[in-house]
Structure 1
Amino acid sequence: MGVQRGLRPRARRRGLRGRRARGPPRAARGGAADRAPRARGAARALGAARALGAAAPQGARAAHGERGLTRGRPTRARGGPGAAHAPGRTARRPRRGAAALRAPLCAAAAGRARAAVAAAILAAALAAGCGAPAADDPRPRVAVSVAPLGWFVAQLAGDAVRVDVVLPRGANAHTFEPTWETAEALAGAALYVRVGHPGLPFERTALEALPAGAAGPEIVDAAEGEDVRGEDPHLWLSPRRMRGFAERLAPALARAAPAQAAAVDGRRAALREAIDALDRELAARTLPHRGRTLFVAHPAFGAFARDYGLRQEALERHHKEPDPAALAEVLASARRAGTRALVVQPGFPREVAELVAGELGARVVAVDPLDADWPATLRAVAAAVEASYPR
């Protein structure tokens, strides 16, 4: 059935946090005092990108039908975004521009890392996630690595099982480090449903530290049998991929809750039709935009783009901030495409997104790929495509 039985416990528990929480979570700190430096840093970054764009050969810009980026020397922005550069002055010392760009986007990465650290520190609050089961809850437990996979479990099993989410709300799926409590909770689950992509290392790390002697849960991977190396790990944003995943999930849920096996099997056809209907809806909405590019802050929408003949282009490159030349390249590409939206997800600094979008004359559109309401998330991505290229 394409389903693995639980992994053997490993003696060495690598990559997990074993220390208890001390002090307030770092992710809860900050506020207006943190936002102003980010906005100033982003303004300097855009100044550097403008300068590099202005230095490009005139012929190269004309070949793309591009009038070129505004000339300007990056300076400290003390009066808001408008003070980020001084028109008419040529750019000098590009290395300073690179350092200026690194500051705001490193701050963005640090903010997302702080969210993951706070989530690990608050492991005691995982009762809503992968915490210890309630003593009076006799239902079989199913752990899902990310919240969207829980939607499929609920469609097939209803309330016959308890669903626990390993990744805490607000944590970064790429950098989250599971806790000892997470591994111990997984040991008590009958089934572990995960994406199965190497770009989400926490899915594997949690299992590597199962308590000694624990058999571990049965495992179902959404990426079972596929070569996903080099792909965007947000595979659940592809309805066509998730159709096959739902077919593999149903028998595993029937084994986890034998008393509900008939009900689970009966719901399988309804879920298949719901996925197909959503696929048809999304195909119709995106059809006028086939071949266009969705400009995003973080490359989380590649699976959706592949299903519907779109492309995605991201500000981030390999989970790192772009240098000024790369940012100038993205800005020039977005201008050529004529996009009217920049898609961001929770954790990306709103101030930085608004500065970049303002440079393009576009607006910021927020989409959370980790939201538990899977159909609503996919419709939000389709709406972002429509907002990017209004008809």
Structure 2
Amino acid sequence: MSGILTVIALLAVVLPASADPLSVFVSVLPQKFFVEAIGGPSLTVHVMVPPGASPATYEPKPQQMVELSGAALYFSIGVPFEKAWMKRLSSANASLKIVATDEGTEKRAMAAHHHDGDDGHDHHHGHGLDPHIWLSPRSVLTQGRVILRALVAADPERASLYRENYRRFAASVVALDLELMERLSVLPEGTPFMVFHPSWGYFADDYGLEQLPIEVEGKEPKAGELTALVERAKAEKIGVIFVQPQFSRKAAEALARSAGAAVEILDPLAEDWDENLRRVAEALVVSASRRQ
């Protein structure tokens, strides 16, 4: 059992018979991990975007709207579907409090892919801010403080429990960050890795790596852009291209064939957040060792 999961297990306390769990919603699965770690069995946590679905295009189901009507809190995080749906989610429950867990987090610009334009000039494409803040342990500490404040405000009787849970959770996140730093220290500063969707920018920033995305904002590369990416992959001796299960692998597989690289899956939305980041670090170290 992972360190953070062990902490969650240790936090399981027997609630008074009269204390009903607080019903809360989160947008994506990694948030469930954070909220349960801080809230423990005092909460029932519902996840809006199910496994395999994309938080860019998801549309809540009728049953979820029914469940939302009984929720006290909704922990948003800034993923695209929220922009289209948050007002409607709020209207389903007048007493629902929306908690923006990205509050206080400085967001990076969404990664851009690069190509040579027809006019002979270089062009970069990529607009807006990167929502994948849950993939940075350092950002998760900030998100955790926002979650803690909201739980204490909504359920002050359990405030001391939530504060103790957060203290232990934060200690585990710091330990994980140090572990990842140590594992990734074998890679030279600026080591590049190629991904289909630019989900890993915060992770790359934290550990001194460079993310090279194939697509940006849901747009697969055109033929000329794909050629430029193949050339970049060969120049950087990229041995592995990482894809995620929420997106088509077609463009990545075509690029991999041309560049002589393998294709592997990394899921930025995995629920086992700490173990997932360990898997990512290990995959990056192994892929770097396979650079041609």
| Deviation sequence 1:320-356 (CA, Å, 0-9, x none) | 0101111111111111111211111003345654443
- Range with greater deviation from structure 2 (177-186 or 271-280): 177-186
Contact 1:253 1:264 in 2 (8 A): yes
Pairing of 1:247-262 with structure 2 (within 5 A):
247-262=145-160
Taking the aligned partners of 1:339 and 1:371, their CA distance within structure 2 comes to: 25
Following superposition, the deviation at residue 227 of structure 1 comes to 5.1
1:189 to 71, 80, 86: 71
Following superposition, the deviation at residue 211 of structure 1 comes to 7.1
Q: Which has the higher strand share?
A: 2
| Deviation sequence 1:189-214 (CA, Å, 0-9, x none) | 1111121x2xx232243331247584
- Corresponding residue of 1:386: 285
Taking the aligned partners of 2:203 and 2:44, their CA distance within structure 1 comes to: 29
Q: Quick check: 1:372 aligned with 2:268?
A: no
- Corresponding residue of 2:13: none
Tell me how large the CA RMSD over aligned residues is.
Answer: 2.3
Pairing of 1:279-298 with structure 2 (within 5 A):
279-289=177-187, 290-298=189-197
Taking the aligned partners of 1:342 and 1:213, their CA distance within structure 2 comes to: 42
- Corresponding residue of 2:119: none
| Deviation sequence 1:2-43 (CA, Å, 0-9, x none) | xxxxxxxxxxxxxxxxxxxxxxxxxxxxxxxxxxxxxxxxxx
Letter in 2 for 1:215: A
Structure 1 length normalisation: TM-score?
Answer: 0.60
Q: Quick check: 1:145 aligned with 2:24?
A: no
Taking the aligned partners of 2:191 and 2:163, their CA distance within structure 1 comes to: 40
Structure 1 gap segments, 5+ residues each: 1-136
Aligned-pair identity in percent equals: 37
- Corresponding residue of 1:205: 84
Pairing of 1:286-365 with structure 2 (within 5 A):
286-289=184-187, 290-350=189-249, 353-365=252-264
Taking the aligned partners of 2:59 and 2:91, their CA distance within structure 1 comes to: 20
Following superposition, the deviation at residue 184 of structure 1 comes to 4.2
Distance change in 2, residues 1:182/1:208 (3 Å): farther
Higher Rg of the two aligned structures: 1
Contact 2:20 2:42 in 1 (8 A): no
Q: Quick check: 1:234 aligned with 2:132?
A: yes
Q: Give the aligned length.
A: 252
Contact 1:170 1:346 in 2 (8 A): yes
- Corresponding residue of 1:243: 141
Distance change in 2, residues 1:212/1:296 (3 Å): closer
| Deviation sequence 1:72-95 (CA, Å, 0-9, x none) | xxxxxxxxxxxxxxxxxxxxxxxx
Structure 2 length normalisation: TM-score?
Answer: 0.78
Q: Secondary structure at the match of 1:209?
A: helix
Contact 2:30 2:271 in 1 (8 A): yes
- Corresponding residue of 1:73: none
Taking the aligned partners of 1:213 and 1:375, their CA distance within structure 2 comes to: 33
Taking the aligned partners of 2:89 and 2:254, their CA distance within structure 1 comes to: 45
Pairing of 1:108-147 with structure 2 (within 5 A):
138-147=20-29
Q: Secondary structure at the match of 2:42?
A: coil
- Corresponding residue of 2:115: none
Contact 1:183 1:211 in 2 (8 A): no
- Corresponding residue of 1:5: none
Q: Secondary structure at the match of 2:271?
A: coil
- Corresponding residue of 1:11: none
Structure 1 segments (4+ residues) deviating >4 Å: 210-213
Structure 2 gap segments, 5+ residues each: 1-18, 110-127
Contact 1:186 1:207 in 2 (8 A): no
Following superposition, the deviation at residue 226 of structure 1 comes to 4.1
Q: Secondary structure at the match of 1:332?
A: helix
Distance change in 2, residues 1:261/1:353 (3 Å): same
Contact 1:341 1:384 in 2 (8 A): no
- Range with greater deviation from structure 2 (319-328 or 258-267): 258-267
Letter in 1 for 2:233: A
